[in-house]
Chain A
Amino acid sequence: MSFLIQSGFLQSGPVQHALIVGGIAAVVAAVVGVPTLIRGQAFASDALAHVSTAGGALAPLIGVNALTGFVLMALAAGGMLEAVPVRDRAERDLLTGIVLGAGLGLAALFLSLGVTLPGASGATVGVLFGSVFLLGADDLVPALTAGGLALVLLMAFLRPILLAALDPDLARVSGVRLRLTGAVHLACLTLAVGLAAMTVGAILSTALIVTPAATAIALTARPGQSLLVAAGLGLAGTWGGLLIAYDSYVWTNGHAWPASFCIVTALCVLHFGLTGGLSLLRHLRGGKVRR
C-alpha cells in the first residue's frame, strides 16, 4: 500500500488543489463528452481544445487568468464553427480544420511573444501540457464557478441536449429549440475545455472530453447510464493519473513523469482495457452482437 500511495499524497496542499480542480474538470468534461460524441463532434471538440491554446497563451499577455483565456478563445472558435454555413460532413470537417489551423497560428504567435515576458520560462509547456501541481488556492474559486455553471446548465438542458444529439428531427417535432440547445451545449463544451486545459493542458484537454465518453458509449447503450459511467471513468482516470504522477517522483528518483501524461495514459488504459474486455466477453459468449 505504501508503494502504491507514497506518503503525504493527501496531506500535500498542491495535491489537494490538483485533486479538486482535476475532479471538477473530469466530471464536467466526461458529461459534456457523451452528447458531443453522439452528435459526431469528436473533431470539433478537439479543435476547440487545441484553439484554446491561443487563449491560454494570450491570458498572461493581457493580464487575465488562464481559465478565462481558454474559455473565451474556445468560445470564439465555437462561434465561428456555428456561424459559417456548411453543406455536409466533409465540408464541416474542412471548416473545423481551417479554424483549427488559424487558431493554432495565433497560439504560435502568443506563445512566442510570451517567452519574452520576465519569469515566463516553462509557460509554453504549462499552457500546452498543463501544470496541475502548480495550481494555487486562488485557482479553486474560478474552477468551482465554471464547473458549477456548466453542471447546472447541463442538468437544466440534459433532455433536450441528448434528444437533439440522438435524433434532431424527433427533437424538432417535440418542440426542442435546436439553436438554443446547440448554444447551451457549446457553452458547456467550452467551459469543459477550459477546465480540462487547466488540468492536462490545452493540447491534451480533448482526452478528458473524448476518452471517458467513448468508453461509456461503448459499454452501455442507454444515454443516462453512459453519463454516469463516463463521469466515474473520468474521475478514476484523472485521480489515478494524479496519484501515479505523484508516486513516480519516488519511483524514478526525482524524474517524475508529467501529470498530464499519467492522466491521459490512465484514461486510455481504462478505455482499451474495458472495451477490449467487453468484446472479448461477447466473443466468448458465442459472438452475439448487440443491437
Chain B
Amino acid sequence: MIAGIFTSSWIAGSIVAAMAGVVGFFVVLRGASFAAHALPLCAFPALAAAHLFGLDPLGTALAFALAGAATISAIGQGTRRDIASAIWLVLMLALGELFLSRMHSYARAVYGLLFGQLLGVTPADLHLIAGVGILAALLILLTFRPLLLSTLAPELAVAAGVPPRLVEFLFLALLALASSAALPAVGALLCFSLMVGPASAARHLFDRPTAALAASVALSLLTVWGALLLSSATGWPASLFVGAGGLALYLAPRARSFRSLVRA
C-alpha cells in the first residue's frame, strides 16, 4: 500500500520534473518569470471548478490554461504586461477561492491545490499528469526548433519566417500545459520554483543550449527525487524541499561571483 502510493508519486513527480526542466529552460532564457508564476494560477480555479461541479479535470485545466495563455500573450510586452499579469493572477486566485469555499473540507483542498501533495498523488491525478505530459511532449517536439531559434536569436527567427506572436503564444500554451500537470504534485505556487531553479543553474553551467537543456531536466529530476525522499523521511511537505532546492540551485553557481563581489 505504502509502496504503491510512493510509486505513483515517483512516476508523477518524474513526469512533472522532466516537463518543468524543458519548459523552465525556455522560461529562463526568455525572461518570462512573471508569466511562469501567473499561468499556473489559472489552473488553480480550473481544478477547483472541476472538483466542485464534477467536470473532467483534464479538459477544464486545458481550457483555463489556454485562456490564460491567450490573455497574457494578447496583453503584449513590457511594464503593462507585468501589471496585467498581476491583476489576472489575483483574479484567478480569488475565483479559485470562491469555488473552494462552496465545498466541504475547504482548508485541505486549498492547501493541496496551492502547495501540492507530492506524496499524496492519486491514480486520477496520475492520469491527468500523464495525459497532459504526452500533449506537452508532442507540442515540444513539433515546435522545438522555431521556439529555440526565436528564444536565442529573435531577429534571426523573424528573418527565417518564424512568426514571433505565434511562437510566443505556443510558448505560453506549453507553459500553461506543464503547469496544469504539475499542479496536483507540487501545487500552483511551487511548480514555478521547479521550473526556474534547475534551469537557471543549468544556464550557468553550460553554454551549449542542448547541454543546458539536458542539465536542466536532470537537475529538475534530482530536485523532485530529493524532495520525495526528504519529505517521506521527515514528514515535512515536499514543497518545502522543492522551494529550497530551487534557491540552492540558483545560488550555488553564483557563489564565486558573490565572494569576489564582497571582496571588491
Q: Which residues of chain A have a CB within 8 Å of any CB of chain B? A: 37, 40, 42-43, 45-46, 50, 84-85, 89-90, 93-109, 111-112, 115, 121-125, 128-129, 203-204, 206-207, 210-211, 214, 255, 257-258, 260-261, 264-265, 268, 271
User: Are A108's CB and B237's CB within 8 A?
Assistant: yes
In the complex, chain A residues whose CB is within 8 Å of the CB of B179: none
User: Are A104's CB and B115's CB within 8 A?
Assistant: yes
Inter-chain CA distance A111–B115, complex, in Å, is 10
User: Are B243's CB and A104's CB within 8 A?
Assistant: yes
Is B169 in the interface zone, CB < 8 Å from A?
no
Inter-chain CA distance A111–B189, complex, in Å, is 14
Inter-chain CA distance A43–B240, complex, in Å, is 21
In the complex, chain A residues whose CB is within 8 Å of the CB of B205: none
User: Are A260's CB and B94's CB within 8 A?
Assistant: yes
In the complex, chain B residues whose CB is within 8 Å of the CB of A214: 83, 86-87
User: Are B115's CB and A129's CB within 8 A?
Assistant: no
User: Are A105's CB and B244's CB within 8 A?
Assistant: yes
8 further A-B contacts with Cβ under 8 Å, apart from A42-B85, A255-B102, are A37-B79, A46-B34, A111-B111, A112-B111, A206-B86, A211-B90, A258-B98, A258-B101
User: Are A46's CB and B86's CB within 8 A?
Assistant: yes
With contacts A89-B31, A121-B107, A214-B87 taken as known, whether A103 is within 8 angstroms of B243 at the C-beta atoms is yes
In the complex, chain A residues whose CB is within 8 Å of the CB of B31: 89-90, 93-94
User: Are B189's CB and A104's CB within 8 A?
Assistant: yes
Is B261 in the interface zone, CB < 8 Å from A?
yes
Segment touching A, from B125-133, B135-143, B193-201: B193-201
30 contacts between A and B (CB under 8 A): A37-B79, A37-B83, A43-B34, A43-B37, A43-B82, A46-B37, A89-B31, A93-B31, A93-B33, A97-B34, A97-B196, A98-B196, A98-B197, A98-B247, A99-B247, A100-B37, A100-B192, A101-B242, A104-B190, A105-B244, A106-B243, A108-B239, A109-B240, A112-B236, A204-B90, A207-B87, A210-B83, A257-B101, A260-B94, A268-B90
In the complex, chain B residues whose CB is within 8 Å of the CB of A104: 115, 189-190, 193, 239, 243
With contacts A97-B193, A102-B246, A106-B240 taken as known, whether A42 is within 8 angstroms of B86 at the C-beta atoms is yes
Is B36 in the interface zone, CB < 8 Å from A?
yes
Of B94, B236, B243, the contact of A207 (CB 8 Å cutoff): B94
User: Are B190's CB and A207's CB within 8 A?
Assistant: no
Q: How many pairs, one residue from A and one from B, have CB atoms within 8 Å of each other in the complex?
A: 165
Of B82, B187, B247, B258, the contact of A42 (CB 8 Å cutoff): B82
Which 8 residue pairs of A and B lie closest in terms of their CB atoms, listed nearest first? A105-B243, A101-B193, A90-B31, A108-B239, A93-B33, A207-B90, A264-B94, A102-B247
CB distance from B171 to the nearest CB of A (A): 15
In the complex, chain B residues whose CB is within 8 Å of the CB of A89: 31
User: Are B85's CB and A107's CB within 8 A?
Assistant: no
Q: Which residues of chain B have a CB within 8 Å of any CB of chain A? A: 28, 31, 33-34, 36-37, 79, 82-83, 85-87, 89-91, 93-95, 97-98, 101-102, 106-107, 110-111, 114-115, 187, 189-190, 192-193, 196-197, 200, 236-237, 239-244, 246-247, 250, 258, 261
With contacts A43-B34, A85-B261 taken as known, whether A105 is within 8 angstroms of B90 at the C-beta atoms is no
CB distance from B254 to the nearest CB of A (A): 8
User: Are B192's CB and A128's CB within 8 A?
Assistant: no
User: Are B240's CB and A108's CB within 8 A?
Assistant: yes
User: Are B196's CB and A101's CB within 8 A?
Assistant: yes
CB distance from A202 to the nearest CB of B (A): 11
In the complex, chain B residues whose CB is within 8 Å of the CB of A99: 247
User: Are A101's CB and B87's CB within 8 A?
Assistant: no
Closest-by-CB residue of B relative to A111 is: B111
B90, B193, B242, B250: residue with the most chain A Cβ atoms closer than 10 Å:
B90
With contacts A98-B200, A100-B192, A258-B101 taken as known, whether A108 is within 8 angstroms of B34 at the C-beta atoms is no
CB distance from A43 to the nearest CB of B (A): 4
Inter-chain CA distance A56–B33, complex, in Å, is 25
With contacts A43-B33, A109-B237 taken as known, whether A94 is within 8 angstroms of B28 at the C-beta atoms is yes
With contacts A42-B83, A258-B97, A258-B101 taken as known, whether A97 is within 8 angstroms of B37 at the C-beta atoms is yes
Inter-chain CA distance A101–B246, complex, in Å, is 7
User: Are A271's CB and B87's CB within 8 A?
Assistant: yes
Closest-by-CB residue of A relative to B199 is: A94
In the complex, chain B residues whose CB is within 8 Å of the CB of A96: 33
In the complex, chain B residues whose CB is within 8 Å of the CB of A123: 107
With contacts A94-B250, A124-B110, A257-B101 taken as known, whether A108 is within 8 angstroms of B243 at the C-beta atoms is yes
CB distance from B77 to the nearest CB of A (A): 12
User: Are A101's CB and B86's CB within 8 A?
Assistant: no
A42, A95, A260: residue with the most chain B Cβ atoms closer than 10 Å:
A42
Inter-chain CA distance A268–B89, complex, in Å, is 11
Closest-by-CB residue of A relative to B36 is: A97
In the complex, chain A residues whose CB is within 8 Å of the CB of B91: 264-265, 268
Inter-chain CA distance A107–B244, complex, in Å, is 12
